[in-house]
C-alpha cells in the first residue's frame, strides 16, 4: 500500500493539483532580448500541498514543527531526514519551503558549455573526463578553436557560457586571460561563468600568484561568476578515496570566500552516491550554510548524482531515484540561506528532475548544448535540450517557467529570439 500511495500522490501532484496559466513572453521586435535589473520576485502562492502533513516518523514530526515555525534545522535534523523512509513527508516539507521561498516559479536558462581542455594533472577516481597529455582522446583547444566552439553553439538566445576544464600543466594564466577577453569581445552580452575553485587554486599555484590576485586578473579580463564544481564531498576521508589530487574541502571553501569577496557570485555543489555516508553529506551542507551566512555569495546549490561508468569507481552502483529525490529535498530543508536548489536534468534525467520540482527544486539548469564531463562518465541523457522542451517539463509539473540569466534576472524575448530553435 505504501508503494501505491507514493505513486498516486506523486502523479496527482505532477498532473492537476492546480491549474497554471501559460507563461507569456513579451514580444519586442526592436529589442530581441532584454534582461531585468534585478532577480525575479516570486508572487504570493498558495501551497500545492493539497494533502495535510502526516508521518509516522516521530523525528520528522518534530522537524515539521520547526519548519512551520521557521526555525533553522540542526545537523541532527539532517541525519534524521536522510535516515527517514517517509519520502512523502520529507518531500512535503521541502515543497513547503520551496514554495515559501520561490512561489510557483521554476527557472531555466539558455546556456552553452565549453570545455577548453580535458588534459589534467589530477587523477581523480571519480572522473571519466580527464586525460594525460599523451593519452588517447586528450585535447586542448587553441584560442581560435575555443572561440569557434563558442560561436558554433551561439545565437542571440544564449545568455551564458559555462566554462570549465582539466588542470592542464602547460596552459598559462595569459592563455585564459586571452580566452576570456576574446569571448567578451565576440559575445559582449553573454555572461561568462568560469572556473571551479579547484581550477582557481591550480592556476594560481602554476602562475606563482595568490588566488586573490588570480581572481582579480581574470575578473578584469571578463569573468562574471563561477560554477560550483570540485566541491565533491568536503570530508577528508572521502576526498582521499575519490579525489586525493584536488584541494581539500577547507581550501575549496576559502577560495569560494575569496571569489565572493571579489564581488563575484558562485554556485555550490555536492557529489553524492559514491563512498560517502549521511554524516558526510550533512557535514558538507552545514559547511556551505555556514559560509553562506558569512558571505551571501552562493546563488544556488546543485546536488550532483555520481555517474560511475568509465571511472575507477565503476564497480559502485548508480544512484537510485529515491536517493536523488531525497537529496534534493534534504538540501532544500537544510540550506535555508540558499535561495535556489537546482535539479540538474543532465545528471538526474529529465523525468527525475521534473518530479524534483515537487520535492524542493526550483531550477532545472538550461539548454546546455554539448555537455561532456558527465557523458564521459556514462550519462545517457541528451547533450542539450531545447527551450520549449524545458518549458514543457516545467508546465507539466504544474510550475510556471521563468527564463533567467545567470544572476536569476528574468529574460524577456522578442519575436526574433523566440523563433530560434534553442
Whether residue 231 has pLDDT greater than 80: yes
3-state helix, strand, coil split of the chain in percent (to 5) is 40, 15, 45
Position 249 confidence tier, pLDDT thresholds 50, 70, 90: very high
Tell me which residue of 368, 376, 369 sits closest to 129, measured CA to CA: 376
pLDDT band at 6 (very low <50, low <70, confident <90, very high): very low
Q: Is the pLDDT of residue 56 over 80?
A: yes
Q: Rounded to an integer, what is the distance from CA 183 to the centroid of its chain? A: 23
Query: Where residue 44 falls among pLDDT bands split at 50, 70, 90?
Result: low
Q: Ramachandran region of residue 208, left (φ > 0), alpha (ψ -120 to 50) or beta?
A: left
* CB 371 within 8 Å of CB 346: yes
Per-residue pLDDT, 200: 97
Averaged pLDDT, 58-77: 97
Q: In sequence order, which residues have a C-beta less than 8 Å from that of residue 168 and are 6 or more positions away? A: 117, 119, 120, 121, 140
Q: Is the pLDDT of residue 136 over 60?
A: yes
Structure confidence at residue 128 (pLDDT)? 72
Grid cell 558554433 is found at 152
Q: Rounded CA gap, 388 and 246, in Å?
A: 38
Q: Name the band, by pLDDT with cuts 50, 70 and 90, for residue 329.
A: very high
Where residue 367 falls among pLDDT bands split at 50, 70, 90?
confident
The pTM assigned to this predicted structure is 0.86
pLDDT in tens, 252-265: 999 999 999 999 99
- Quickly count helices (H) and strands (E) in the chain: 17, 11
Q: Where is average pLDDT lowest: 159-173, 202-216, 217-231, 351-365? A: 159-173
pLDDT category of residue 135 using cuts at 50, 70 and 90: confident
Beta bridge partners of 304: 271
Amino acid at each position: 500500500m505504501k508503494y501505491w500511495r507514493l505513486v498516486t500522490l506523486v502523479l496527482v501532484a505532477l498532473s492537476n493539483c492546480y491549474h497554471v496559466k501559460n507563461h507569456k513572453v513579451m514580444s519586442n521586435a526592436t529589442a530581441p532580448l532584454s534582461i531585468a535589473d534585478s532577480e525575479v520576485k516570486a508572487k504570493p502562492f498558495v501551497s500545492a500541498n493539497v494533502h495535510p502533513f502526516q508521518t509516522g516518523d516521530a523525528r520528522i514530526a518534530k522537524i515539521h514543527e520547526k519548519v512551520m515555525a521557521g526555525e533553522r534545522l540542526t545537523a541532527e535534523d539532517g541525519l534524521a531526514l536522510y535516515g527517514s523512509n517517509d519520502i512523502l513527508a520529507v518531500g512535503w516539507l521541502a515543497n513547503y519551503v520551496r514554495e515559501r521561498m520561490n512561489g510557483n516559479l521554476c527557472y531555466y536558462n539558455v546556456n552553452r558549455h565549453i570545455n577548453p581542455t580535458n588534459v589534467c594533472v589530477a587523477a581523480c577516481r571519480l572522473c571519466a573526463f580527464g586525460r594525460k597529455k599523451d593519452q588517447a582522446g586528450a585535447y586542448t583547444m587553441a584560442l581560435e578553436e575555443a572561440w569557434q566552439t563558442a560561436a558554433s553553439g551561439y545565437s542571440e538566445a544564449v545568455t551564458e557560457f559555462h566554462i570549465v576544464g582539466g588542470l592542464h600543466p602547460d596552459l598559462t594564466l595569459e592563455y585564459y586571460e586571452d580566452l576570456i577577453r576574446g569571448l567578451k569581445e565576440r559575445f559582449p552580452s553573454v555572461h561568462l561563468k568560469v572556473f571551479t575553485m579547484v581550477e582557481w587554486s591550480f592556476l594560481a599555484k602554476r602562475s606563482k600568484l595568490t588566488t586573490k590576485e588570480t581572481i582579480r586578473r581574470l575578473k578584469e579580463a571578463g569573468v562574471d561568476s563561477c560554477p560550483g564544481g570540485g566541491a565533491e564531498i568536503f570530508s577528508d576521508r572521502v576526498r582521499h578515496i575519490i579525489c586525493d589530487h584536488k584541494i581539500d574541502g577547507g581550501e575549496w571553501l576559502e577560495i569560494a570566500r575569496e571569489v565572493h569577496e571579489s564581488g563575484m557570485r558562485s554556485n555550490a555543489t555536492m557529489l553524492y552516491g559514491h563512498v560517502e555516508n549521511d554524516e558526510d553529506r550533512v557535514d558538507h551542507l552545514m559547511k556551505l550554510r555556514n559560509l553562506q551566512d558569512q558571505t551571501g555569495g552562493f546563488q544556488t546549490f546543485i546536488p550532483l548524482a555520481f555517474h560511475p561508468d568509465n571511472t575507477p569507481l565503476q564497480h559502485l552502483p548508480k544512484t537510485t531515484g529515491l536517493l536523488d529525490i531525497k537529496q534534493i529535498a534534504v538540501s532544500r530543508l537544510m540550506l535555508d540561506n540558499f535561495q535556489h536548489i537546482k535539479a540538474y536534468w543532465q545528471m538526474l534525467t529529465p523525468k527525475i528532475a521534473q518530479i524534483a520540482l515537487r520535492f524542493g527544486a526550483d531550477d532545472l539548469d538550461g539548454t546546455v548544448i554539448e555537455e561532456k564531463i558527465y557523458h564521459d562518465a556514462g550519462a545517457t541523457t541528451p547533450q542539450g535540450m531545447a527551450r520549449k522542451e524545458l518549458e514543457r517539463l516545467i508546465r507539466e509539473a504544474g510550475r510556471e517557467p521563468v527564463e533567467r540569466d545567470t544572476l536569476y534576472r528574468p529574460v524577456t524575448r522578442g519575436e526574433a529570439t523566440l523563433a530560434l530553435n534553442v
